[in-house]
Amino acid sequence: MSNAITDIYSVLWPELRFLRRHWLSILATSLVSPVLYLVAFGYGLGNNLTVEGVSYIAFIIPGIVALTSMTVSFGGAAMKLNVDRLYYKSFDEFLMSPISHSSIVVGKALLGVVRGLLSCGAIIVMGVFISPQLIIDPLFILSLLVSCLAFSFFGVFAALVVNSHQSMSTFNSLVMLPMTFLCGTFFALSQVPEAVRMVLYVLPLTQSSECIRSAALGEHFPWISLIALVGFGAIFYFASMYKLKKSSI
């Protein structure tokens, strides 16, 4: 167990050093889109609106937190690994080292988790000032942590699958961008037809939005959604392990 922790830290440590030196610029760039969404949708379209019995501002802030956990955690894990693997070729050093594949996958994913939690924390602070009725409790924190971890594993898997920087951009456009607007981040899923809703519940961001929003608004917590989100994380982890082992052969 101690060896696994040491290996994971060995993978994560260089990334943490880079993050420590550039955390302010990384945080600022990761907050541009969430803040714009908050201003455009929350204030530009949501004045005097209510959704499911709460103000639209209170409704949208947890959705933006879930969205930020997806985009920042995924990007934090995927983009750095993609560059290291395809451009600098430094990722090959990990493959030639005695570090286990599981430690490599977890270490790379934890970078996305750290970045995701950092950015989401800033959004949460702003959200509490904007909408004081939001509840930040252990269920909220658990949902946020599971969401960041699941999407970080997703990012590791995507970075191991794509074979070019252009392919990563295509992946973002075809997979991440639709989830941004279709998974209940900016609207209640009860407003869409049941057939469409069933399709949307297959997507991981929908489960993340459901968990984080329910915890933040003090509603009945969807444990099934949390279990589904854990399942997505497990699928992405094992898919990353399979792809990494296949690449090493």
Q: Could you tell me the pLDDT band of residue 145, with boundaries at 50, 70 and 90?
A: very high
Mean pLDDT of 169-182: 92
Q: What are phi and psi of 53, to 5 degrees?
A: 85, 0
DSSP-derived 3-state class of residue 49: coil
Token code pair at residue 171: 């992946």
What is d(CA 126, CA 52) in angstroms, rounded to the nearest whole number?
A: 22
Query: Which residue range(s) make up the domain with 219?
Result: 2-248
DSSP-derived 3-state class of residue 185: coil
Q: List Cα–Cα distances, 8 to 11, 56, 100, in angstroms.
A: 5, 41, 9
What is d(CA 190, CA 65) in angstroms, rounded to the nearest whole number?
A: 20
Mean pLDDT of 141-167: 93
What is d(CA 65, CA 110) in angstroms, rounded to the nearest whole number?
A: 18
pLDDT score for 39: 84
For residue range 20-29, list pLDDT tens digits in order. Answer: 888 888 888 8
What is d(CA 74, CA 70) in angstroms, rounded to the nearest whole number?
A: 6
Contact 210, 225 (CB under 8 A): yes
Q: What are phi and psi of 51, to 5 degrees?
A: -135, 120
pLDDT score for 10: 86
Specify the amino acid at residue 216. A
Token code pair at residue 12: 């994560």
Mean pLDDT of 232-248: 91
Residue 248 scores a pLDDT above 90: no
pLDDT score for 1: 62
Mean pLDDT of 132-151: 94
Token code pair at residue 161: 């699958």
User: What is the pLDDT of the chain when averaged over all its residues?
Assistant: 89
Q: Could you tell me the pLDDT band of residue 2, with boundaries at 50, 70 and 90?
A: low
Q: Which range, 87-96, 130-139, 230-239, is most confident?
A: 230-239
pLDDT score for 46: 62
What is d(CA 116, CA 123) in angstroms, rounded to the nearest whole number?
A: 11
pLDDT score for 47: 63
DSSP-derived 3-state class of residue 31: helix
The residue with tokens 């296949």 is: 246
For residue range 46-76, list pLDDT tens digits in order. Answer: 667 788 788 888 899 999 999 999 999 999 9
Query: Is the dihedral angle over the CA atoms 115, 189, 198, 162 positive or is it negative?
Result: negative
Query: Which candidate, 204, 239, 194, places its Cα nearest to that of 225?
Result: 204
Tally of domains in the chain: 1
Mean pLDDT of 174-187: 92
The residue with tokens 């950015």 is: 119
